[in-house]
Structure 1
Amino acid sequence: MPRVLSSEDVEAFRARLCEAAQTLFAERGIEAVTMRELAQALGVSPMTPYRYFKDKDAILAAVRAAAFARFAARLEAAMAQPADPLHRSRNAGQAYVDFALAEPQAYRLMFDLSQPTEGDYPELQGAIVRARRTMTVHVEAMIQAGQLEGDAELIGHLFWSVLHGMLMLQLTGKLAPTIDPAKLRTLASQTLVRGLGIVTP
């Protein structure tokens, strides 16, 4: 008679499946993330993963939802530190960089993977909305403090685009060997601050 699984057992195995999916993605790319490969990685029968997730798409949605939630939590914590709005914005930027460099495969699954079915997963949708909010809230604070003028959403996406582009070049090894990624980010930040006319305290 099969053992009755507790909710803790189910969540623990779901977490193992998600971890295995992220590892397979890191090692061999998205094509390697199949239910059969996941079962093999965990040493279970090919049908076992289907007891916990409908299919590969659902597993990837769960992995991405958790990553977006961790990402948002880091940026929210950084912006909660007592400081003027500009420095909170810089704190958020550093938290963004720290997350991407600490969890590069999760970061790439978040932003590099297109899932046409995202709308089918409320948890993923909520995590994406929460993460996207961190891209503009620090800009809104600078506008309210009189340090900046303009469209908060547009400016937030400008910061995001520049930072994401630099990080993807770094993570994929596309930066020239002579380029220091940290110095490049500092130069970009200084250039944006001057170009947008941000009033520094």
Structure 2
Amino acid sequence: MPRVLSSEDVEDFRRRLCVAAEGLFAERGPEAVTMRELATAMGVSPMTPYRYFQDKDAILAAVRAAAFTRFAEALEAGMGQAGDPIVRSRQAGMAYIEFALAQPQAYRLMFDLNQPTEADYPELQAAVARARRTMTVHVEGMIRAGLLEGDAEMIGHMFWSVLHGMLMLQITGKLAPTIDPQTLRRQMFATLLRGLGLPEP
């Protein structure tokens, strides 16, 4: 008879399973990974993961929710440091870059993947909304300070789109060998900031 698991046991196994799944999902794509392979990676029987998750899609949702939460925490910490609105915006950008380059597997599962069932997982939806909020809150600060005019959500998505595109090209090795990623980011944002009437970094 299987022993009764405490809530701590359940959360610990779920966390460890998500860590193992993140690597497999990012390496091979969620579609190519089976529940049996996830069980093998954990050193447990093929049916054990089903005691903790309904199916593979639920595991993917949990993996992505955890990644979005870590991402949001990193950007919130960057924006929480002392400084004027422009400094806080730059700190948010640096936190974004550091997260993407330090955790490329998580980053790709967050933004380079379409999970059609996302709406079925409230925890994932909340994590996505929290992360999306970090894309605009620093812009709102600059608007309130009179440093910037316009729609905060649109401007936030402009910054986000540019930064994401550059980082994905870097992470996937698609930049030309002659292009230095840091120089590209610096020149791209200098151009964008000039257009918005903000001082260059």
What is the TM-score when the length of structure 2 is the normalising length?
0.96
Contact (CA 8 Å) 1:72, 1:130: kept in 2 or not? yes
1:199 CA drift (Å): 5.4
Map 1:107-118; keep pairs closer than 5 Å: 107-118=107-118
Residue in structure 1 matched with residue 163 of structure 2 by the alignment: 163
Matched, 1:77 2:93: no
Counterpart residue type for residue 180 of structure 1: D
Superposed displacement of residue 32, structure 1: 3.1
8 Å contact from structure 1 (residues 85, 142) kept in 2: yes
Distance 2:200 2:190 in 1: 11
CA RMSD in angstroms, aligned pairs only: 1.3
Note closer, same or farther for the CA distance 1:200–1:149 as it changes in structure 2 (3 Å cut).
farther
**Distance in 2 between the 1:39 and 1:67 partners?**
21
Q: Which residue of 2 is the match for residue 185 of structure 1?
A: 185
Q: Is the CA contact 1:147–1:199 (under 8 Å) kept in the aligned structure 2? A: no
Local SS of the residue matching 2:134? helix
Measured in 2, the distance between the counterparts of 1:163 and 1:48 equals 40
Give the distance between the partners of 2:176 and 2:143, measured in 1 at CA. 36
Query: Which residue is 1:34 aligned to?
Result: 34
CA contact (8 A) 2:190 2:200 kept: no
Shift of 1:31: 2.8
1:175 paired to 2:169: no
Is the CA contact (8 Å cut-off) linking 2:26 and 2:109 kept in structure 1?
no
Q: Which 5+ residue runs of structure 2 have no aligned equivalent? A: none
1:200 positional shift:
7.1
> 2:200, 2:102 → 1: CA distance?
30
Per the TM alignment, residue 109 of structure 1 is displaced from its structure 2 partner at its CA by: 0.4
Residue 128 (structure 2) pairs with residue 128 (structure 1): yes
Do the aligned residues in 2 keep the contact of 1:36 with 1:46 (CA within 8 Å)?
yes
Cα shift readout 1:94-132 (whole Å, capped 9, x = no counterpart): 000000001000000000111111111111000000000
Give % identity.
78
Structure 1 unaligned spans of 5+: none
**Counterpart amino acid of 2:167?**
L
Distance 1:85 1:34 in 2: 46
Aligned to 1:55: 55
Answer whether contact 2:36 2:46 (CA < 8 A) is retained: yes
Cα distance in 2 between the residues matched to 1:195 and 1:98: 25
Cα distance, 1:30 vs. partner? 2.4
Contact 1:139 1:156 in 2 (8 A): yes
What TM-score does the superposition give when structure 1 sets the normalisation length? 0.96
Paired residues of 1:148 and 1:199 also in contact (CA < 8 A): no
What is the CA-CA distance between 1:29 and the residue it aligns to? 2.7
One-letter amino acid of the counterpart of residue 120, structure 2 = D
| Correspondence for 2:86 | 86
Deviation of 1:67 (Å)? 0.6
Who is 1:196 aligned against? 196
Distance in 1, matches of 2:200 and 2:161, equals 22
1:143-162 mapped onto 2 (5 Å cutoff): 143-162=143-162
| Contact 1:86 1:200 survives alignment (8 Å) | no
CA contact (8 A) 2:64 2:106 kept: yes
Please tell me whether the aligned partners of residues 80 and 88 of structure 1 are also in contact (alpha carbons under 8 angstroms). yes
For this pair of structures, how many residues does the alignment match?
Answer: 201
